[in-house]
Amino acid sequence: MLFKQKGILFVLSGPSGVGKGTVRKALFKKNTSLKYSTSMTTRPMRPGEQEGVDYFYRSKEAFEQMIENNQLLEHAEYVGNYYGTPREYVEQQLEEGNDVFLEIEVQGALQVKVNFPEGVFIFLSPPSLEELKNRIVSRGTETESLVINRLNAAKEEIDMMDAYDYVVVNDRVDHAVENIQAIVKSEHCKRERVASEYKKILEVSQS
Ligand code: 5GP
C-alpha cells in the first residue's frame, strides 16, 4: 500500500430519549469494523456499567482540566453533568484508517461538525415523528389540538435535523442498525472518497 486512506468519522445523535444508546449497543454487538469512541463523563456510574467500556468516569475537576488542555473534541453539559469525546483516540484511529463512531447528544454533534465537516452526521429520529406525519398525511384535514401541540413539539426536532446528512427512524432497533450499516457502506462507495483515493495513488506513483 503506497498510502493509507483515512478513516471516516460517523456521528450518531438525536433528541434526548430517542434510544441512541440502545441502537449504538445493538450496532456494536454486530460484527462491525467501526471503532467506538468511549466518552468521558462526570455522571456517576450506573449499576452494570464499567470504567472504560461505557464511559471514562472522571471528577468535575479532571474533566475541566481536559477541556482546558484541549483534549476533548467536543463536550456538553447535559442534566447537570459533563459529557465529552477524548480527542486523541479519535484522531489516532482516523489517521490509522479506521472508521470511528460517536454517539453523543446534539450540542456535541454540532461542535464536531465545526471541527470535522467531512464527518458523516446521522440523526436518530423518534418514531413518533413518523407516526405524526402518517396521521396528517392520511387524514388530510387533521385539526385536533393534540396534533397541533405535537406538531409544535416536533418542529424543534425537525429543525435539529438540518445539520445532519442522514435521518434514521428508530421504529425498531434492528431496522435502525441496518440503516446505519447501509449508510456506512454507502459512504465508502461515495464518488468523492473513491476518486480522491485513486488520485492519490496516481500522484504517488507518478512522483
Ligand atoms: P447517559 O447519561 O444516559 O449515558 O447519556 C446522556 C446523554 O449524553 C445521551 O444523549 C448520550 O448520547 C450523550 N453523550 C454520551 N457521551 C457523550 C459525549 O461524549 N458527548 C456528548 N456531547 N454527549 C454524550
Instruction: Determine the average pLDDT of the residues in 84-112.
Output: 97
Which triple of cell numbers denotes residue 73?
A: 473534541
Q: 22-26, 111-115, 126-130, 193-197: which range is least confident on average? A: 126-130
Percent of the chain with pLDDT over 70: 91
Pocket of ligand 1 (CB under 6 A): 16, 20-21, 39, 43, 74, 76, 78, 83-85, 103-105, 108
pLDDT confidence bin for 90, thresholds 50/70/90: very high
The pLDDT of residue 76 is above 60: yes
Q: What is the pLDDT of residue 146?
A: 66
* Gap from CA of 81 to ligand 1 centroid (Å): 10
Q: How confident is the model at residue 74 (pLDDT cuts 50, 70, 90)?
A: very high
123: CA distance to ligand 1 center in Å?
Answer: 14
Query: What mean pLDDT comes out for the span 4-21?
Result: 91
Mean pLDDT over each residue of the chain, to the nearest integer: 90
Question: Ligand 1: distance of its center to the CA of 108 in Å?
Answer: 9
At 155, is the pLDDT very low, low, confident or very high (cuts 50, 70, 90)? confident
Rounded to the nearest angstrom, the distance between the alpha carbon of 2 and the centre of ligand 1 is 38
Nearest CA, atom 19, ligand 1: 84
Give me the helices (H) in 96-172, please: 106-115, 127-139, 145-161
- Amino acid 151: pLDDT: 75
The residue whose CA has the least distance to atom 11 of ligand 1 is: 104
Backbone angles phi, psi at 102, to 5 degrees: -115, 145
pTM of the model: 0.90
pLDDT band at residue 162 using 50, 70 and 90 as cut-offs: very high
Residue nearest to atom 2 of ligand 1 (CA): 43
For residue 103, the ligand 1 atom closest to its alpha carbon is 12
Query: Which residue among 83, 106, 123 is best mutated to probe the pocket of ligand 1, counting the most ligand atoms within 8 A of its Cβ?
Result: 83
3-state SS string over the chain?
A: CCCCCCCCEEEEECCCCCCHHHHHHHHHHCCCCCEECCEEECCCCCCCCCECCCEEECCHHHHHHHHHCCCEEEEEEECCEEEEEEHHHHHHHHHCCCCEEEECCHHHHHHHHHHCCCCEEEEEECHHHHHHHHHHHHHCCCCCHHHHHHHHHHHHHHHHHCCCCEEEECCCHHHHHHHHHHHHHHHHHCHHHHHHHHHHHHHHHHC
Mutate to test the pocket of ligand 1, among 78, 106, 114 (most ligand atoms within 8 A of CB): 78
pLDDT range class, residue 196, cuts 50, 70, 90: confident
